[in-house]
Structure 1
């Protein structure tokens, strides 16, 4: 039993969870950017890819829980978001096609709201932090009213209503943060996956396609992330921060070029 507990496959650090998420994401993106418009149809690639987002969200939660400087972590995510947006603009220009793959706002808004809620719970400048919580919502509404012309503004002020996995995903992350037991976090993920599945049926039956990044049948397979979360050992693991930051945009660029070649 002790040998099993010490085995790396039964004892996952935060870094290991991110590596597993990275592998799943890569498999998903290989199909999405390279083989999606070919005769190859391997839905298992997309199913495996659904494991990635919950694991990355879980990793962000742990970073916020154990970080000694939450503000610096949030600001780092914000700067990374801007870098990804600039890369999207450059790629869209070079490839003469709209390129959009930025999921960083999901993690950024989750971290921001966790920080603000923490400050309110601690009764530190309550009114100020409530106002700060309202700002992303007001900016998002304004962006929706103005329309596509505000896309440049969204580089610096991302729209909380147009993030890929919807604001519901943020709620899952915030809920995870305040759940101390992994059992409760796993149950929350299972219920959320069922919610996504039911939502997918409702959305597909209606004439409005709302948050297709979340409400599609494949996305419900995010429940497969549960076993990995169950094996989390509450440890940070090796510091591969720079590797993850570099790998994400790099593999997208490579797959986009491969996709152009294959097609």
Structure 2
């Protein structure tokens, strides 16, 4: 499978996943959500491949950042226009996670280059790139204490941090593993699978818990797609994901709010 085919599969399964998220009260089956567990890893995988192959990495990172910022703003505005009676807002923003993955890839690369070449500028730049997102998390928390939820959301939107992004530090770490072990796909898949299945360790291994309470471990099945990847880009539809991702989420949110208000 090429990158385009992986993205199309991701888009289809993502749509089912978000149908469950926004319409589960209407009876959408939970297995839609099970299928959706493989989506974020697939997009993380295609994002690191895109970063590796792009001719302009700064432009690639900027595109993810702008998308993250715009969606953070949309996540604030849309619920202000129409709200759900149950108080649910829009929590989705995978762009910020993908952006931070590329930030930490770049930070590690700069640190490695600076160390071996003795270039202190690269070392400093790498350190700054690695520290700023973490510092942003503490600044956002302080902002919440001083200015409330609006200050927290504004700071997190402008400076995404690993503590509040979708998937958190675990998904960022997974993205780094995907990138730096991309030349050893078997090892990468083995480590990824171990991380996925380790989510089963805490708590009792009951059917109720494994399939209906804590089923994030199901993301292990995305490893199949990693192994099927042929290293090719495939058809180029650069902005399909950037447009479809926020578009379908806001559509589902607004539609669910309208149906609940009737």
Does 1:109 find its partner at 2:88? Answer: no
Q: In structure 2, which of residues 229, 242, 247 is the aligned counterpart of residue 245 of structure 1? A: 242
User: Which residue number corresponds to residue 166 of structure 1?
Assistant: 168
TM-score by length of 2: 0.85
Tell which deviates more after alignment, 66-75 or 115-124. Answer: 115-124
Output one character per residue of 1:205-235: Cα deviation in whole Å (capped at 9) or x when no partner: xxxxxxxxxxx62211001111111110001
Mapped contact 2:104–2:129 kept (Cα < 8 A): no
Mapped contact 1:70–1:115 kept (Cα < 8 A): no
Output one character per residue of 1:103-131: Cα deviation in whole Å (capped at 9) or x when no partner: 21110100011011112212252123213
Shift of 1:195: 2.1
User: Which residue number corresponds to residue 76 of structure 1?
Assistant: 63
Shift of 1:261: 4.2
Name the CA distance, whole Å, in 1 between partners of 2:216 and 2:82.
28
Mapped contact 2:71–2:93 kept (Cα < 8 A): yes
Does 1:58 find its partner at 2:45? Answer: yes
Does 1:17 find its partner at 2:16? Answer: no
Shift of 1:159: 2.5
Name the CA distance, whole Å, in 2 between partners of 1:136 and 1:82.
14
Does 1:30 find its partner at 2:19? Answer: yes
Name the CA distance, whole Å, in 2 between partners of 1:228 and 1:64.
18
- The gaps in structure 2 that reach 5 residues or longer are 205-212
Shift of 1:60: 0.9
- 1:161 match: secondary structure: coil
Shift of 1:41: 5.4
Output one character per residue of 1:152-201: Cα deviation in whole Å (capped at 9) or x when no partner: 122211232111211011111101111112111211221111222225x3
Does 1:193 find its partner at 2:184? Answer: no
Name the CA distance, whole Å, in 2 between partners of 1:116 and 1:47.
34
Shift of 1:246: 0.9
- 2:90 match: secondary structure: coil
Mapped contact 1:143–1:150 kept (Cα < 8 A): yes
Name the CA distance, whole Å, in 1 between partners of 2:173 and 2:101.
8
User: Which residue number corresponds to residue 208 of structure 1?
Assistant: none
Name the CA distance, whole Å, in 2 between partners of 1:31 and 1:132.
36
Q: In structure 1, which of residues 235, 238, 257 is the aligned counterpart of residue 232 of structure 2? A: 235
Name the CA distance, whole Å, in 2 between partners of 1:132 and 1:262.
44
TM-score by length of 1: 0.84
Mapped contact 2:143–2:152 kept (Cα < 8 A): yes
Shift of 1:27: 0.6
Name the CA distance, whole Å, in 1 between partners of 2:106 and 2:129.
11
Name the CA distance, whole Å, in 1 between partners of 2:180 and 2:160.
25
- The gaps in structure 1 that reach 5 residues or longer are 1-11, 203-215
Does 1:48 find its partner at 2:35? Answer: yes
